Amino acid sequence: MVYEGFQIGSKSVCYGRSYYQDIQRVEYEGGLCNGCRWGEGTLYDRNGAVVYKGQWMNDEHEFEKSVVLERYDGGFPMLHSLITYLGIDPRCCRFPEWKSVDFSCFPNLKELEVEEGCFEYVREVRMVELKKLEKVVIGKDCFNAENTQKSGFYLKKCEALKELTIGSNSFHHYRNCEIVNNSSLESIAMEKDAFYSSNSILKNLPKLTTLNVRQNCFYECSRAEFQDLTELTTLKIGSCAFTFNPTNYTAHVEECFDSCSESEDEDVSWLIMKNLPNLKILSVLSGLKSTTFAFPTHIVLEEMPAITKCLLPLAFQSFSSLTKHNIGALAKHSAFPLPSFVEIHNRDELTALSSSVTQLHLSYNTCHSLLQLDLSRFANVKEIRIDGYSFQSVEEVKVIGLNKLEVVVIGKKCFTKESEWPELHTTGKFYLKDCKKLKKVIIGAYSFREYSICEIQNLPAVEVIAMGAVNDWSESFMSASLELKNMPKLKFLNFDLPKLTKLFFNEYDSKTFRNATRIVLENIPSVTEVIENNTFHFNNVRKHNISPALEAAFS
C-alpha cells in the first residue's frame, strides 16, 4: 500500500496516510492539499519513530512566519494561517476590488504593521478573536475609501493585544470605530484627522491606561461611548475631537411640529461615559478653542468619581437630555444645570414663579402663548437657560438690569415662528442690557429669526457671545439691526463657530443678520481676531473704541 485517504483525481487532499513502499510502514499521516503535506501532520522514520510533528505548508515544515507584502508586480508571498508578523509596505494593497479586509484569518498573528497609504479602497476592517495579537500599528492615510456610509473598523476580543496606533488621516471617511472587549489593551493612540467622520465605541478595556486622541478625530460623530475603562486615569483629547454634528442636537423635538414630515431619529446623537472610576483628568490639549464634546443630543455620565480636573470649555452645548451620577468635578461644568435650578414647563408656572429664584430653567417646547417675555423681575437670578423650540409667539424679550446674572443660554429655534417667509414678519425685539456680571451669552441656531432689533449693551464682564452652530445654517436675527456697546472684556464674539477669542462672521453662509441695515460697535477693545465671510450685508456701520481686529474687519 502506498496511500490511503482522500483524493481528487490523482491528488491527495484533506487527510491521509502515506507509506514507505518497500516496508509498508507509515511515512506521513496528517493534512494534505493538492498532493502536498499541509496543515497538522506527523513524519515518521523507517523504524516508526517520530521525526517531526506539527505544522506543514507545501511539503515543508520550516517556513517563514514573518511576511511583508511589498508593492511590486511579482505577486504576493504565500499568506498562511501561521503568520506571526505581517507587514504592509507603503502604498500597497490599493486594489479597487478589495472592499473589506478580515485579519481574523491569521489566528497566530502577533504583530500587524501597515505603513502609509495602504488599502485605499477598503471599507471594512475586522480584527476579531485574534487571541495572540499583541500590537497593531497603522500608518497615515490608510483605509481612506470614500462613500462609505456603512464602513467600519472593528477590533474585538483580542485578549493579548496591548498596543494600538493609528496614523493621521487614516479611516478618514469611516462611519464606525468599535474597540471592544480587549482585556489586555493598555495604549491607544490616534493621530490627527483619523476617523474624522466616525462614531466611536470604546468599551470594556479594563487595562487601558493611555488614551491619546489627537486633533479632529471623530469630528463629525453622532455617537461616542467610553464604558468600563477601569484603569484609565487621564483622558487628553486634541482640539475639536469628538465634536457632534450640531444639526442633531434637538432632532427629537422636531416631532412636536406639524411642519416636520420626516423623522430625524437617525440624527440623534449620544455621548456616553460610564464606569471610569480612576479617571482624574479630562481635558482638551489645545484649551479654550476646542469644541470637544459639543452638541450631543443626549448625555449619559456615570461613575467617574475621581475626576478632579476638567478643561472642556465648549463641551455639552445644547443637549436635550442629561443623566449624570457620581462624576466628581465634572458635575460643576458650566453647561450643566445647577441642582438649585427651578425648571419651568408652562406659562402658569412662569407667572407664579418667585422673583427671588437664582437659577431659571425653561424646558423644551414651552410657553408658546406668551407675547412678551420680561425676565428683568428676577433680580437674584445667576443663570438663565431656555431649551429649544420655546416661546414661538413672543415678540419682545427683555433681560435688563440683572446685576447677578452670569450666564444666558438659549437653545435652538426659540422665539421663532414657523413662517415660510420670515423676512416678511420682522417685528420682534431683543434687549440684553445692564447686567454687570454677565460673562457668557449663547444663542442656538434659528432663534429670533423674525426679530428686527438686537441690542446687547453695557455688559462690562461679558467674555463670550455666540450665535448659531458649527457648519450649519443659523438664520438668527436675519433682518435685525445689531447694536453691541460697552463690553470692554469681550474676547469672543461668534455668530457661527464657537472658537474662543476669535470673531467669526459665518463660515457656512449662516444668514445671521443677513438683512441688517445698521450695525453699532462701541467699547469692544479686546477682540483679537476676526474671520468674516458674508454674514452681514450692510453699509451703515458705527464704531467707537473697538479693537484693531474689529476696526480692520469693518473698515
Residues 368 and 328 in one domain: no
Residue 11: Cβ within 10 Å count = 12
Number of domains, the chain: 3
Q: How many CB atoms lie within 10 A of CB 525?
A: 13
Full pLDDT tens readout for the chain, 555 residues: 889 999 999 899 999 999 998 898 999 999 999 999 989 999 999 999 999 999 988 888 888 889 999 876 556 777 888 899 999 999 999 999 999 999 999 999 999 999 999 999 999 999 999 999 999 999 999 999 886 678 999 999 999 999 999 999 999 999 999 999 999 999 999 999 999 999 999 999 999 999 999 999 999 899 999 999 999 999 989 999 999 975 433 333 333 323 333 334 445 899 999 999 999 999 888 756 788 998 898 999 999 999 999 988 889 977 878 888 999 999 888 888 765 566 788 888 888 888 888 889 888 888 888 999 999 999 999 999 998 889 989 999 999 999 999 999 998 889 988 766 555 566 789 999 999 999 888 888 888 888 888 888 888 888 878 776 544 556 777 766 666 767 677 665 554 322 223 344 433 344 444 444 555 566 566 666 554 444 444 456 667 777 787 777 666
Find where cell 495572540 sits: 132
190 and 288 inside one domain: yes
pLDDT at position 481, please? 65
Task: Indicate if 310 and 370 belong to the same structural domain.
Answer: no
Burial 402-420 (b: 16+ CB within 10 A, else e): beebbbbbbbbbbbbbeee
Domain that holds residue 17: 3-56
Sheet holding 451-457, edge to edge: 372-374, 396-400, 428-433, 451-457, 481-485, 519-524, 541-546
- Whether 90 maps to a domain, the answer reads no
Residue 103 falls inside a structural domain: no
Does residue 327 form part of some domain?
yes
Asked whether residue 264 falls in the same domain as residue 357, the answer is no
* Same domain flag for 295 and 188: yes
Residue 509, domain member (yes or no): yes
Establish if 422 belongs to a structural domain.
yes
Query: What does the pLDDT read at residue 526?
Result: 65
Indicate the residue among 56, 73, 91 that finishes a domain.
56
Asked whether residue 237 is domain-assigned, the answer is yes
- In this structure, is residue 270 part of a structural domain? yes
Residue 124 belongs to a domain: no
Claim to verify: residue 302 and residue 358 sit in the same structural domain: no
What 3-state DSSP class applies to 71? coil
CA nearest neighbour of 474 among 455, 447, 450: 447
Tens of pLDDT, residues 154-199: 999 999 999 999 999 999 999 999 999 999 999 999 999 999 999 9
User: Are 16 and 157 in a shared domain?
Assistant: no
